[in-house]
Structure 1
C-alpha cells in the first residue's frame, strides 16, 4: 500500500468523505477447480469483463463515534456494511487513528442475482470509498483480502482488467493468463427468465482427480487462446466450462443456446457460474458479423430467451456492428477505455 496525498474532501458538516467505484462482469469464461503453484487444489475462475454498469460508493466518516455505528443506504446491503467495518479498521490502523463510524451510500445499475458480481462490486466500491476518506489507496491484494472477509468469496473486479485465473475464496491470483483477452463481441442474454439463482440450494459436486485434470486442460487451452488471439479456441473453452457447470445449474435453455451459437457461426457461449446471465461469443473479424448478431438475436427471441445487451470487450459496440472491424485498433477493457454509455434493460 502506497499512501496517496490526502484526497478526502469535506462532506456534509465538514466531515471527511471518500468515494469509490467498481465495475461488474458478465459471468465466467472458465470456472472450476485448479492446482496452485504448490499443487494444492483451489476453486478458481476467469471472468468476462464488461464496461458500463457498476457500483458507486460514498463514505462519510464521523470521527469520535463508535466504529459499530455504521449506517448503509440503501439498507440491506449487509456485505457492503461488513466491508465498510473491515475497511475502517484497516485504514484507521494505517492512518494511526482510532476507528470510527460513518455513513455509506451506494448507487449503481448492476442487475442483482444474475451472476454479474453485483455484491463484489458493492464491496470493492465500499472499501475504496472508506480508504479514500482516509486519504489512502489500498493495493488490489489488500482490497481482495478485505472483500473475501466481507463476503467469503469475491470476483477479481479489483484488478486491472487483465485476464487472470482467480481463486475467489482466497482472494488471490493463481495465474495471469496474458495481457488481454482476444477481442470479442458478446450477445448477452438471461436464462431462466432472468430469475436470480439461489447458489446455496444448488447440488454440491465434490471434485475428483478427473475434474481437476479436465479443468487444467481447459486452463491450458485458454492460456493458448489468449496468447494467440484465437477467439474460436476461447469460445470452445467457455462452452466446455459452461457445459460442466450445468451439472449444478441445469439451465433448461442450455441446449438451445449452444444450438443457436452453432447455427449463427458464433465461437461459443459463456454462462455465469452463480447466476442466469449468459453470452454468445463472436469473433469481430468474422465475415458477416452484423448478420450473425442479428440472426442470433432473432433466434434467442424465437426460443423465449431474453436478450440483454450486445457489447464488446475492447471498443464501442457501434463501431463493430455498424462498420468494419479493425484489429489494429483493438484495445483491452480497462478503466480508461472509452465506452458509449449503455444500460442493461430491465428483465
Structure 2
C-alpha cells in the first residue's frame, strides 16, 4: 500500500473532481492533421466523486458489485482496472466491492460520470498499491465510457480528445483568473446527451475551431480574461446549433450589460457561467447586477467561484483539489488523487444515496 495509508489490506480509495462545463469544444486537427473531437473544460473546486474499492481475492472477476447499483460505467471501469492491475502485479484477477459517493448533479454537463469512473480507477489501483499514470487512467476511462473528460489531469488547461483519451495540446500552466457566476439553463433540467442530434461539421467549422484554439492559446499565454471570454462565448454560440437553449441570447446580452467578459456553457448539459475579469473595477457591483439580471430573466443562479491560478469556491465550503501535472508518457508520473490524503476534498453524501437529478442547491 502507499506510505502512510491506513486502509485495510486489499482496500483502496480514490477521488476525482468535476468541472463547470467547457470553455471550448469542437473538432480540431491533431499533430498529423487528422480531424479530432476535443474540448477544454473549466475547473471548479468542491464537488467530486469519491470511491472505495475492496478486493475479494479468490472470487471470479465478474463478482464485482457497485453501490449505488446504477453506476454501471464506474463498475465497468473498476473491472477493466482490476484486469490491468492484476497483469502488472502478477496476481489473478478477482472480484470486489466498489462504493461511490459524491454530490455532483447529473445532466448539467459537469462530468459526473467521468468523475465516478476516474475515482473508481484510482481506488482499484490503490487497492493494489499502484499509482497509474494519467495516460493510463485516461485510456481506461475511455474504454469504460467511450468518452471521458480530462479530470485525471488536474486543473491545467489542455485541449483533450475526449473520445481517444489523449492530450492534443497543453495550453499553458493555468487559465487566466476568472470570477464565474454559475447558473443553470432550462431550469436545471438534466440533458440527455444521447438524444441530441449530431452536428454536421465541415471544413469551415474546423477552421473556425482552430482559430478559437489559437485565440485560447494566446489568452492563456497573456493571461487575458477578455480573450478567454470571447473564445468561450464563441464556442458556446456554436454549441447552440445542437443545444438550442432558449435563454442563450438573453444570457449573452445580460453578460454584456453587466460588464462580463463572456459566457461559457456546458456542451453536454445545462450548466453555464457568466465570466468576469477579477481585476475589473467595481467587481462586486457587477456581480450583484448579474445576479439581479439572472433572476429577472428566470435563470437560476447556482454558485459564484473563482478559477485560474488558484481555484477556490467563494460561495460554498470545500478544499481546492490537489493538482496533477499532465503526463504524456508512461515514464512521467505525478501525484495521483487517490488514497487517504484525498478524503478531505469534499463531504460526500452516503455511498447508498442515489445520485439526485440536477437540483440547483447541490452546485
- Specify which of 38, 41, 47 is matched with residue 35 of structure 2: 41
**1:300 matched to 2:294:** yes
User: Does residue 147 in structure 1 map to residue 141 in structure 2?
Assistant: yes
- Taking a change above 3 Å as real, the CA distance of residues 340 and 20 of structure 1, as seen in their structure-2 partners, is closer
Q: Report how far residue 160 of structure 1 moved.
A: 2.8
Residues 1:285 and 2:301 aligned together: no
Q: Extract unaligned runs of 5+ from structure 2.
A: 325-343, 349-359
Q: Quote the Cα distance in structure 2 between the aligned partners of 1:41 and 1:315.
A: 32
Structure 1 runs not aligned, ≥5 long: 320-332
Q: Distance in 2 between matches of 1:50 and 1:303?
A: 25
Is the contact between residue 8 and residue 132 of structure 1 (CA under 8 Å) also seen in structure 2?
Answer: no
* Distance in 2 of aligned mates of 1:7 and 1:132: 13
1:233 counterpart residue number: 227
SS of equivalent residue, structure 2 residue 66: strand
Contact 1:24–1:110 (CA under 8 A) maintained in structure 2: yes
| Conserved 8 A contact 2:182-2:272 | yes
Asked if the contact 1:22–1:158 (Cα under 8 Å) also holds between the matched residues in 2, the reply is yes
Q: Using the alignment, how far apart are the partners of 1:306 and 1:160 within structure 2?
A: 28
- Report if aligned partners of 1:6, 1:134 keep a CA contact under 8 Å in 2: no
Q: How do 1:76-91 and structure 2 match up within 5 A?
A: 76-91=70-85
| SS of structure 2 residue aligned to 1:158 | helix
Choose the corresponding residue for 2:104, options 107, 110, 113. Answer: 110
Q: Which residue of structure 1 lines up, in the alignment, with residue 120 of structure 2? A: 126
CA distance in structure 2 between the partners assigned to 1:65 and 1:7 by the alignment? 28
Relative to structure 1, the CA distance from residue 334 to residue 5 in structure 2 (aligned partners, 3 Å threshold; closer, same or farther) is closer
Indicate if the aligned counterparts of 1:6 and 1:136 stay in contact, CA closer than 8 A.
no
| Structural mapping, 1:264-283, within 5 Å | 264-283=258-277
State the Cα deviation string for residues 178-200 of structure 1 (Å, max 9, x = none): 11000000000000011111111
Aligned mates of 1:342, 1:301 — CA distance in 2: 29
Answer whether contact 1:8 1:135 (CA < 8 A) is retained: no
Rounded Cα–Cα distance in structure 2 between residues aligned with 1:107 and 1:116: 16
Q: 2: CA distance between counterparts of 1:178 and 1:113?
A: 29
Contact 2:108 2:191 in 1 (8 A): yes
Distance 1:175 1:336 in 2: 18
| CA apart distance, 1:204 | 1.4
2:340 corresponding residue in structure 1: none
Q: Any conservation in 2 of the 1:8–1:133 contact (CA below 8 Å)?
A: no
The number of residue pairs the alignment matches comes to: 327
Question: Do residues 55 (structure 1) and 42 (structure 2) align?
Answer: no
Distance 1:126 1:170, change over 3 A: same
3-state DSSP class of the match of 2:361? coil
1:201 to partner: Cα distance = 1.2
Residues 167-223 of structure 1, C-alpha deviations (whole Å, 9 max, x = no match): 000000000001100000000000001111111111212211001000000000000
Whether contact under 8 Å (2:16, 2:151) holds in the other structure is yes
Q: Does 1:166 align with 2:131?
A: no
Q: Structure 2 length as normaliser, TM-score?
A: 0.86
Return closer, same or farther for 1:244/1:125 CA change in 2, 3 Å cut-off.
Answer: same
Q: C-alpha deviations, 1:30-87, integer Å up to 9, x for none? A: 0000000000000000000001000000000000000000110011101001000000
Q: For 1:208-261, what per-residue CA distance to the aligned partner results, in whole angstroms no more than 9, with x for missing partners?
A: 100100000000000001100110010000000000000000000001100110
Q: Are the counterparts in 2 of residues 270 and 279 from structure 1 also a CA contact under 8 Å? A: yes
Equivalent of 1:258 in 246, 252, 264: 252
Q: Aligned residue for 2:361?
A: 345
Q: Which residue of 2 aligns with 1:215?
A: 209
Tell me if the contact between 1:19 and 1:130 (Cα under 8 Å) persists in the aligned partners. yes
Q: Does 1:335 align with 2:322?
A: yes
User: How far apart, CA to CA, are the structure 2 residues paired with 1:7 and 1:273?
Assistant: 41
